[in-house]
Chains A and B, each alone.
Chain A
Amino acid sequence: MNAVGFLNYWFVVVLMMIGFYILIAQGNLVKKIIGLNIFQTSVFILYISMGKIEGATAPILNSNWSVYSNPLPHVLILTAIVVGVATSALGLSLVVRIHEAYGSVEEDQINEMDRSV
Chain B
Amino acid sequence: MEDNVILRVATKILTPYILLFALYVQFHGDYGPGGGFQAGVIFASGFVLYTLIYGLETARLVLPLRVASLCGALGVLIYAGVGIATMILGGEFLDYDYLNSHDAEHGQHLGILLVELGVLTTVFGVMVVIFYSFAGRREAK
Find out whether A and B make contact in their complex, taking CB atoms under 8 A apart as touching.
Answer: yes
Q: Which residues of A contact B (CB under 8 A)?
A: 58, 60, 78, 81-82, 86, 89, 92-93, 96, 99
Give the residues in chain A near B140, CB-CB below 8 Å: 99
Would you call B37 an interface residue if the criterion is a C-beta within 8 Å of the partner chain's C-beta atoms?
yes
Please give the distance in Å from A78's CB to the nearest CB on chain B. Answer: 7
Sample 10 A-B pairs with CB under 8 A, ordered by A number. A58-B33, A60-B31, A60-B32, A60-B33, A78-B37, A82-B37, A82-B123, A92-B134, A96-B134, A99-B140
Give the residues in chain B near A86, CB-CB below 8 Å: 126
Counted as pairs of residues, one from A and one from B, with CB atoms less than 8 Å apart, the total is 17
Give the residues in chain B near A82, CB-CB below 8 Å: 37, 123
A93 touches B37 (CB 8 A): no
Give the residues in chain A near B126, CB-CB below 8 Å: 86
A18 to B137, CA, bound (A): 32
A96 touches B32 (CB 8 A): no
Give the residues in chain B near A78, CB-CB below 8 Å: 37
A92 to B32, CA, bound (A): 33
| Interface range, B side | 10 to 19
Would you call B133 an interface residue if the criterion is a C-beta within 8 Å of the partner chain's C-beta atoms?
yes
Give the residues in chain A near B31, CB-CB below 8 Å: 60
Per DSSP, are chain A's interface residues mostly helix, strand or loop, or mixed? Answer: helix
Q: With A60-B32, A78-B37, A82-B37 as given contacts, are A96 and B137 in contact (CB-CB < 8 Å)?
A: yes
Q: Which of B37, B123, B130 contacts A89 (CB 8 A)?
A: B130
A72 to B78, CA, bound (A): 25
Give the residues in chain A near B130, CB-CB below 8 Å: 89, 93
Please give the distance in Å from B65's CB to the nearest CB on chain A. Answer: 15
A93 touches B134 (CB 8 A): yes
Complex: chain A residue closest to B137, CB-CB = A96
Complex: chain A residue closest to B138, CB-CB = A100
Q: Which B120-141 residues have a C-beta within 8 angstroms of A?
A: 123, 126, 130, 133-134, 137, 140
Give the residues in chain B near A58, CB-CB below 8 Å: 33
Please give the distance in Å from A92's CB to the nearest CB on chain B. Answer: 8
